[in-house]
């Protein structure tokens, strides 16, 4: 396995995880508030400051955590398949 495989595996898993997390946050927002998730939290007439900041914080947390989890899982899969971590994740030894 080479660096191109890792780029596809690592990036692909992160993108998919971020999309899923975004959908989950939006659905959770609708369930908890009874209103649709903000389409554009920066628009001053569509959401209040409180809603905009809370939605941004929840989305940022969920997307970041999902990306980290997906990339760690992808690295684990790569290591099991190739017998070593991807070169991008290997620490330099002096």
Tens digits of per-residue pLDDT, 21-66?
999 999 999 999 999 999 888 888 888 999 999 999 999 999 999 9
Beta strands, E only, 24-65: none
Q: Which pLDDT belongs to residue 56?
A: 93
Whether residue 63 lies inside any domain: the answer is yes
What is residue 3's predicted lDDT score, i.e. its pLDDT?
80
SS3 state at 24: helix
- Cα–Cα distance measured from residue 22 to residue 59, given in angstroms and rounded to the nearest whole number: 6
Gap between the Cα atoms of 92 and 51, Å rounded: 45
pLDDT confidence band for 15 (50 / 70 / 90): very high
Residue 55: how many other CB atoms lie within 10 Å: 18
The whole-model pTM stands at 0.81
Q: Is residue 31 part of a domain?
A: no
Side-chain half-sphere CA neighbours of 30 within 13 A: 8
Identify the domain containing residue 66 by its residue range: 48-83
Query: Residues with Cβ < 8 Å from 20, sequence gap 6 or more?
Result: 66
Q: How many domains does the chain have?
A: 1
Which band of pLDDT confidence, cut at 50, 70 and 90, is reported for residue 90? confident
């Amino acid at each position: 396995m080479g660096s191109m495989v890792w780029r596809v595996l690592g990036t692909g898993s992160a993108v998919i995880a971020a999309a899923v997390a975004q959908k989950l946050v939006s659905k959770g927002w609708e369930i908890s508030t009874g209103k649709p998730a903000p389409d554009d939290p920066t628009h001053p007439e569509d959401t209040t400051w409180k809603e905009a900041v809370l939605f941004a914080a929840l989305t940022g947390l969920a997307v970041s955590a999902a990306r980290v989890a997906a990339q760690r899982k992808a690295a684990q899969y790569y290591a099991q398949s190739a017998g070593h971590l991807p070169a991008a994740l290997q620490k330099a030894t002096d």
